[in-house]
Structure 1
Amino acid sequence: MKAYERHVRLAQRKGRIPAVSVAVHRADRPLWSFQVGSDADARFRIGSITKTFTAVLVLQCRDDGLLDLDDPIGRHLDVPAHGDITVARLLSHTGGLQREPYGDMWDTLRAPSDAELLATLDRAERVLPGGRQTHYSNLAYALLGQVVARLRGVPWAAALATRILEPMGLSATTVEPTSRAVPGYLVDAYSDHARREPVLECRALAPAAQLWSTATDMARWAGFLADPSTVDPAGAVLAASTVDEMRWPRTVAEEARWYAAFGLGLNVVPQAGDDRILHVGHGGAMPGFLAAAYGRRGGEGVPPGLGVATLGSSGTGVEVLQLAHTLLRAVVAEDPADIEPWTPGEPAPSALRSVLGRWWGEGFEYVFFWRDGRLHARDVDDPPARPPAVFAAVEDRPDVLRTESGREAGELLRLTRDGSGAVVRMHWATYRFTRGQESFDGTVASEPG
């Protein structure tokens, strides 16, 4: 753990951050936390990490049948303008709404009330056409918070407490600052003076940026966003499949440089290399504070439920943002997950044994194999880190399977048998698969043309 501590101390010193608190959550080790200038129970403002909570609340509403992601916002809120923007576009910052509510909130340090935000919505601009590209918008999440409140019949903060914080055990995460709250600072660029920043009450912007928390709470939350089946195996907060949907990129941050993407309330940050490694979560900024909470997916040695949170009490100490990614990499390098031994498994069911092995489709060779009680398939030239296709039986159709994930997800695999019952041909997404390489007219490739 000394290596982790050194990363934290370097970031704190280089960033000139009065207080830093970090934590590493993983399911196979005790929680690790470390602080400089504070203690483990110190509460920091987490800014826009709040958006991940609001996004989960919205997805809970969708899973409960209260809304559809393609619904226009005007179906759920009485708005004077922009009612045609869909819920999904608000979640993914592709609705084109301006960044902040109408007015000069950052001059007055007075955020609008819920009523004021709606009353002035017709004065807020649609700065980009919907769906064209990412344009980050706090206003969008303020509207989503009001949708949650309207559909649940309670204030956003109450829905947050009962539907996320309590079932996840995030007891140190609060809407208002407590006596454990640390002050936030602006550190002078030309001296070592640290000046306290004012505390902004977000009011209508609360669903976008209001929360306070500890590094330990946020590391657990980051672990959930990356690996919900480990952190919340019963799906008490959200089904793992829905969190998977939230992580799926909807748009990239820039056209020419794909350094980050946006899902439904989550940032997705690819890591260097070819191992399909992603960091998923969110950063946050408020006057006097910067924060990051990310989990890691993909690659060798990643522990289950790995999440890191880094919180700092300086609005300019940007090192705290990169520190989360540094620590995620350090965990895998310094203390990777234990290697589970291979153990023999059950054979494939008799009806599928003749499927196993190599097949050809569209001129390319694939291998079909049985693992963990499921039929899988991959291109023989796929890199090892690329997930295979995984199939599931279709009820009442014994020779038809559905692709649940991977290549051709959602498509059918149809099996054709000979008189002995052996599978001799397959159709996957309607493309013919045969044991030998064939042209599209069914001629064996080795035959002369």
Structure 2
Amino acid sequence: MSWRARTARALIDGLRPGLSETAALAVVTADGEGYTVESSGRCPAGGRFEIGSITKTMTATVLASLVDDGIVDLDDEIGRWLDAGESADITLGQLATHTSGLPRLSPSHVPGVPDPYAFLTAQVAEAELRKAGSGARGVEHDYSNFGFQVLGLALERADRTAFADLLEHRVLIPLDMACSGIPGRGGGAVITGYAQGAPAERWHHHLWGAGGVEASAEDMGRYLMACLDPPDSQVGWSIRQAQRPSFEIDPLRSCGLGWPIGPPGYLGHDGGTSGFRSMLGINQPARRAAAVFVNDHDARGLARAVRQALDAS
């Protein structure tokens, strides 16, 4: 049995007992030969999981693609497109590497409310940037969900194209991900998310770049394969650029465009929404990758399980 098939089955068997009987669980594994998808019986064909912050790796690929086309530059300041006050000097590259000095969440964000991002329209985001003011830029890595919401908005303004269309034309369509996109875009079936055993109300976004994408397990197999072995195409070049270390956090960790990197040889991203959890990891020296998606906000141990899978002999 191949490493892909053996590992996918082991991940399903290892994670399944900690989930409810109604949980939909999908696992994707990839190596130099291809990818494998395994899912639980509760996962419908073409079912779309909310992938949460894994979206950031796609937003970064869009950024790299726009850089390749000469539409933007990593050193461009967001004040070119956004009424950002003292935050206007933040660059696209700083947003993509979490070195912008922006807070993790927008200044007026209220933790714990049922729909925490519904208030954050484009206009409100610009007002929130003005509230955030000036801070240290490019000197410290501080993970910012708000920063990636702003990044998606800036890219929309720079290309005069809605983020959903940027994502489709620069990532999803080139990788044949037909059952993926923001809600209401693309094919596939809706999966209900759960929290504390009850159906979870979905978060509503106006700014999609930080965590708004839904994707089927099969589509994420294509994405995982492209991230492990980028194709010889513009989207492949953009993925390579996004995965290249751009800011050193410490001797063992760095950050690409949207990608946490480290310890050396490893990169990946996790994701969480009101009713879903996910984890994607890549072991570059071993040419292996694995990802897990589940419609249970309370699921735990995904990152540990993926890392152990990538190291398994």
Q: TM-score, normalised by structure 2?
A: 0.87
2:74 corresponds to 1:61: no
**Alignment partner, residue 308 of structure 2:** 326
Map Cα deviations across residues 367-410 of structure 1 (whole Å, 9 max, x no partner): xxxxxxxxxxxxxxxxxxxxxxxxxxxxxxxxxxxxxxxxxxxx
Q: Which of 123, 132, 141 is the aligned partner of 1:124?
A: 132
Q: Which of 71, 75, 79 is the aligned partner of 1:74?
A: 79
Tell me if structure 2 keeps the 8 A contact 1:22–1:34: yes
Amino acid in structure 2 at the alignment position of 1:319: G
* Secondary structure at the counterpart of residue 223 of structure 1: helix
2:276 corresponds to 1:289: yes
Give 1:29 deviation, angstroms: 4.3
Q: Which of 224, 227, 231 is the aligned partner of 2:226?
A: 224
Amino acid in structure 2 at the alignment position of 1:12: R
Give 1:75 deviation, angstroms: 2.7
**Alignment partner, residue 199 of structure 1:** 202
Tell me if structure 2 keeps the 8 A contact 1:22–1:216: no
2:260 corresponds to 1:267: yes
Deviates more, 1:33-42 or 1:164-173: 33-42
Give 1:311 deviation, angstroms: 0.2
Gaps (5+ residues) in structure 2?
none
Amino acid in structure 2 at the alignment position of 1:118: E
Quick check: which one's strand share is greater? 1
Quick check: which one's helix share is greater? 2
State the structure with bigger RCO (CA 8 A, min sep 6), 1 or 2: 2
Tell me if structure 2 keeps the 8 A contact 1:15–1:319: no
Give 1:89 deviation, angstroms: 1.1
Percent identity of equivalent pairs: 24
Distance 1:67 1:327, change over 3 A: same
Amino acid in structure 1 at the alignment position of 2:311: R
**Alignment partner, residue 216 of structure 2:** 214
**Alignment partner, residue 181 of structure 1:** 190
What is the RMSD of the two structures over their aligned residues, measured on CA atoms?
2.5
Amino acid in structure 1 at the alignment position of 2:211: A
* Secondary structure at the counterpart of residue 284 of structure 1: strand
Give 1:243 deviation, angstroms: 1.3
* Distance in 1 of aligned mates of 2:179 and 2:296: 21
Tell me if structure 2 keeps the 8 A contact 1:100–1:138: yes
* Distance in 1 of aligned mates of 2:64 and 2:241: 11
**Alignment partner, residue 292 of structure 2:** 310
Distance 1:132 1:294, change over 3 A: same
Map Cα deviations across residues 27-79 of structure 1 (whole Å, 9 max, x no partner): 52463423353244221100011111111111111111122212222134332
Q: Which of 90, 96, 101 is the aligned partner of 1:96?
A: 101
Structure of larger gyration radius: 1
**Alignment partner, residue 247 of structure 1:** 244
Amino acid in structure 2 at the alignment position of 1:104: H
Distance 1:218 1:165, change over 3 A: same
Tell me if structure 2 keeps the 8 A contact 1:41–1:180: yes
Deviates more, 1:163-172 or 1:28-37: 28-37
Map Cα deviations across residues 303-350 of structure 1 (whole Å, 9 max, x no partner): xxx4322101111212223333233334xx2xxxxxxxxxxxxxxxxx
Give 1:121 deviation, angstroms: 2.0
Map Cα deviations across residues 400-448 of structure 1 (whole Å, 9 max, x no partner): xxxxxxxxxxxxxxxxxxxxxxxxxxxxxxxxxxxxxxxxxxxxxxxxx
Deviates more, 1:114-123 or 1:158-167: 114-123
Tell me if structure 2 keeps the 8 A contact 1:290–1:321: no
Distance 1:76 1:238, change over 3 A: farther
* Secondary structure at the counterpart of residue 198 of structure 2: strand
Gaps (5+ residues) in structure 1?
188-193, 271-275, 334-449
Map Cα deviations across residues 256-314 of structure 1 (whole Å, 9 max, x no partner): x94x43211112132xxxxx5x2323211111111122232114xx3xxx432210111
2:234 corresponds to 1:236: yes
Tell me if structure 1 keeps the 8 A contact 2:103–2:144: yes
* Distance in 2 of aligned mates of 1:8 and 1:125: 46
Distance 1:179 1:198, change over 3 A: farther
Map Cα deviations across residues 84-110 of structure 1 (whole Å, 9 max, x no partner): 112111110011101122323542612
* Distance in 1 of aligned mates of 2:63 and 2:7: 39
1:406-445 mapped onto 2 (5 Å cutoff): none
* Distance in 1 of aligned mates of 2:309 and 2:40: 14
* Secondary structure at the counterpart of residue 31 of structure 1: strand
Give 1:12 deviation, angstroms: 2.4
Amino acid in structure 2 at the alignment position of 1:284: G
Amino acid in structure 2 at the alignment position of 1:52: T
* Distance in 2 of aligned mates of 1:59 and 1:317: 32
Map Cα deviations across residues 185-211 of structure 1 (whole Å, 9 max, x no partner): 123xxxxxx12211011112x111111
**Alignment partner, residue 49 of structure 2:** 44
* Distance in 2 of aligned mates of 1:63 and 1:2: 39
Distance 1:171 1:51, change over 3 A: same
* Distance in 2 of aligned mates of 1:8 and 1:225: 22
